[in-house]
Amino acid sequence: MCPPDAATRNPGTRHREFTSQGWLFVGNETQHPIGIFDSGVGGLTVTRAVMELLPHERIVYFGDTARVPYGVKSPGTISRYASEIVRFLLEKDVKLLIVACNTMAAVALPAITALSPVPVLEVIDAGAKSALAATRTGRIGIIATPSTVHSGAYPAAIARRGGDAALTVSRACPLFVPLAEEGFLDHPATRLIAREYLAPVLAENPDTLILGCTHYPLLRPLLQDVAGPGVTLVDSATAVAADAARVLAETGLLTAPDEARPAHAFFVTDAPDRLRGIGELFLGRPLPDVHLVSLGC
């Protein structure tokens, strides 16, 4: 059965009560998890940064591994898939949503925010901010999925952040996502494809290259090798984790430090063992709680 929409579910989710001690959040929302989602394993790059900066927070991760890649699908389909994931995570009583997928952030943000009664953070604005902080020459390369590149979301975010004098060049790199999902993180085939994809971008002499897909930081050592030492690679993970810390502090929703390690949970729509494998490698910790679920209402 489909869950009801945001207007009717959990009417008390954002409820505070004024008491003799001031405002109290009813239902102990500080203990609620942060929901982080992507089409597959890419969002783990954001998850790692959130775990490092906010070690006491509980995370519920969702990777739609049955339907990845999203970056070659139409905006309507991506918005529908994103809405299904958001409904699933809201049922887990998340206190904050992080769209750890540039593709969904580029084309499905209105659908996501319309459904969500909790704050929503996304990776594109965070990536644009990091690139503007890193560039010295104002020449910025962007590599991303076809949907993200065609949406123009990165140049728009850079301009919004005051970088309208920056020169931006983009290239869609659709094959990187399946290579990362396969765990081909340092494979000759990946290197060959990276040389091909990056050549026209590097010919424009960027000093900064935005990894505009959360899968790409998994390939970071290889991409840095191909781009050369003169190019600074930036991704959104650290910046979006900092945004999460700020928003939780501002809304009084930071989890208090506790002795126990938070029990994170991971949900996928296919092949839990693959997420477990890459997750252990990438997050440097075992992932016992990877659950297989199906979506679609």
* Active site residue ranges: 101, 213
Which of 38, 57 has the CB closer to ligand DGL? 38
Residue of 65, 103, 116, 232 that binds ligand DGL (CB under 6 A): 103
Binding window for ligand DGL (CB under 6 A); candidates: 4-12, 48-56, 90-98, 99-107: 99-107
217 binds ligand DGL (CB under 6 A): no
Phi, psi of 2 (to 5 degrees): -75, 135
Best CA proximity match to 142, nearest among 33, 49, 247, 216:
216
Work out whether strand 16-19 and strand 22-25 pair parallel, antiparallel, or are unpaired. Answer: antiparallel
Tell me how many residues contact ligand DGL (CB under 6 A): 17
Which of 178, 252 has the CB closer to ligand DGL? 178
- Per-residue contact track with ligand DGL, 53 to 72, x per CB under 6 A? ---------------xxxx-
Least Å distance, CB 132 to ligand DGL, is 19
The token pair that represents 168 in the structure block: 């931006």
CA–CA distance, 40 with 58 (Å, rounded to integer): 19
Least Å distance, CB 201 to ligand DGL, is 17
Best CA proximity match to 93, nearest among 3, 169, 170, 178:
3
CA–CA distance, 110 with 268 (Å, rounded to integer): 24
Partners of 209 in beta bridges: 141, 233
102 binds ligand DGL (CB under 6 A): yes
Residues at the site binding ligand DGL, with contacts judged by CB under 6 A: 38-40, 42, 68-71, 101-103, 145, 148, 177, 213-215
